[in-house]
Amino acid sequence: MDETLPSETDPVAAPPKGTVTQRAIDSIKALIGEGRLEPGQRLPTERDLAAQLGISRSSMREAIRALTVLGVLEARHGSGIYVTQLEAGDLLETFGVVADLSRGPGLVELLEVRRILESTATALAAARITPDQLAEVEKHLTAMNATDDPEEILAHDLAFHREIAAAAGNDTMAAILEGLSSRTFRARVWRGYQEEGAFARTRREHAAIHRALVARDPEAARAAAASHVGEVEEWLRAQLEA
């Protein structure tokens, strides 16, 4: 691998619009994106990196700090700064925090995104799910039907969808859905306590998803998942408009 860093005239180092710190962030991201810095590789020293990219050390320090918070870089005590393995779940933790803090219309938008992704993941799972994975999904459905405790129902609800997302075979999609699903937990809690019959309805909706998975019918699975999340989405829209 060519470990030579770009010079000030290299297109990778061309300063993009924005603050100097943002330029530094974009430059480091470009190095990683082009393979000049690989996952697990140690960064040059802050001083060397700043000099070669034509950026002040203070701005480079801020950029490294920001990318460390985002999970792109990792500080190892006594060793230096390294590029992380860039796993989707780790990199999407910040997104999960944003989702967790969303309220009102922002929460409705997150549910809309979840509906789109959840239906796609469930369709993929219908085609790819293994017998063991299907058994796990069924286990949570059975547990959901065997209790009237709202917290237990919602815990198995989350686990039910988590198993399906894993069965879809797309780690990035599963990581996004994990953030969206767990962070909309309070919306479903609110619905469960406020709306009569909500838990009976959610049991029926989960049963429909399970039947589509058993039948290995992607389109039926897509429709059942979209309807399930759409019910919560429409309910929350109505609450905000009331």
For residue range 25-49, list pLDDT tens digits in order.
Answer: 999 988 988 889 998 999 999 999 9
pLDDT band at 186 (very low <50, low <70, confident <90, very high): low
pLDDT band at 20 (very low <50, low <70, confident <90, very high): confident
Inform me whether the pLDDT recorded for 174 exceeds 50: yes
Inform me whether the pLDDT recorded for 179 exceeds 80: yes
pLDDT band at 131 (very low <50, low <70, confident <90, very high): very high
Kindly state the average pLDDT of the residues 58-83.
89
Comparing 104-118, 134-148, 188-202, which segment has the lowest mean pLDDT? 188-202
Kindly state the average pLDDT of the residues 164-169.
97
Comparing 48-52, 189-193, 203-207, 221-225, which segment has the lowest mean pLDDT? 189-193
Residue 8 confidence (pLDDT): 38
**Of 186 and 107, more confident:** 107
Residue 183 confidence (pLDDT): 63
Kindly state the average pLDDT of the residues 119-133.
97
Inform me whether the pLDDT recorded for 83 exceeds 80: yes
Inform me whether the pLDDT recorded for 82 exceeds 90: yes
For the chain, which domains are there?
Answer: 11-86 (1.10.10.10), 91-241 (1.20.120.530)
Highest mean pLDDT among 8-17, 86-95, 105-114: 105-114
Kindly state the average pLDDT of the residues 5-15.
39
Inform me whether the pLDDT recorded for 14 exceeds 50: no
Residue 68 confidence (pLDDT): 87
**Of 152 and 182, more confident:** 152
Kindly state the average pLDDT of the residues 205-209.
97
SS3 letters across the chain: CCCCCCCCCCHHHCCCCCCHHHHHHHHHHHHHHCCCCCCCCECCCHHHHHHHHCCCHHHHHHHHHHHHHCCCEEEECCCEEEECCCCHHHHCHHHHHHHHHCCCHHHHHHHHHHHHHHHHHHHHHHHHCCHHHHHHHHHHHHHHHCCCCHHHHHHHHHHHHHHHHHHCCCHHHHHHHHHHHHHCHHHHHHHHHHCCCHHHHHHHHHHHHHHHHHHCCHHHHHHHHHHHHHHHHHHHHHHHHC
